[in-house]
Amino acid sequence: MNQDLKSKKALILETAREINAQKWTPAEIEQLRRRLISEHGEQAKANPEYIEDVLKDAGYRVLLSLRDEAEEQYEEEFEDLLHFSTVQDAEVSIMRLDELMRKFRGRGEAAAVERVLDVARLGKRRAEMIARNRKVEKKKRIEKEEISNWFRIWLETPDAFFDWLDMRKQSTEFRATFPEAELEE
């Protein structure tokens, strides 16, 4: 096939196969873009977003940020993290978030730590949303307000959270509001 007749998409895919990257980060995409121009001239010039789309459509792994890479690398660990039907479920979820955050922080994986914090913020927002929803029964709204406070406190002071939580669960107010929590411990 004559080079002039090849589509830009075909040139991108051919060059991608030649480069043979395991994953396509912005650096590899830029390498591919420059190589297209140097080997095929100005008619092969393409913007990085177009190259990214072509690669994704062809099934290549495209990771545009450390955050994308962290999400893909630890997808299983982030899966199914948020459960807060009850205060007990919320405590387990926050424990899991805390374990992941400390593990990633210890490894120096800032993007993965940020992903954990994003999941916690999502949990806080969801709990707040339910707590404000007048269609939800009052007892459940009170429980979600409590849970949203837990997420807030963990996000603000993760190192002190579990000591605080132990004290909170022993408080008269908590025991009166959530008597079922005491039975399940």
What is the model's pTM? 0.61
Please say whether the beta carbons of 145 and 85 come within 8 A. Answer: no
Pull the structure tokens for residue 157. 């002071």
Residue 103, SS3 per DSSP? helix
* Rounded Cα–Cα distance for residues 145 and 129 (Å): 9
* DSSP code for 171: S
Q: Which residue has the higher pLDDT, 2 or 72?
A: 72
Question: What's the per-residue H, E or C state across 17-38?
Answer: HHHCCCCECHHHHHHHHHHHHH
For the stretch 83-137, pLDDT in tens is 888 999 999 999 999 999 999 999 998 888 888 898 899 899 999 999 999 999 9
The answer to whether the CB of 127 falls within 8 A of the CB of 91 is no
Which has the closest alpha carbon to 158: 184, 120, 106, 185? 120
39-81 tens-digit pLDDT:
888 888 888 889 988 998 998 888 776 555 555 556 666 666 7
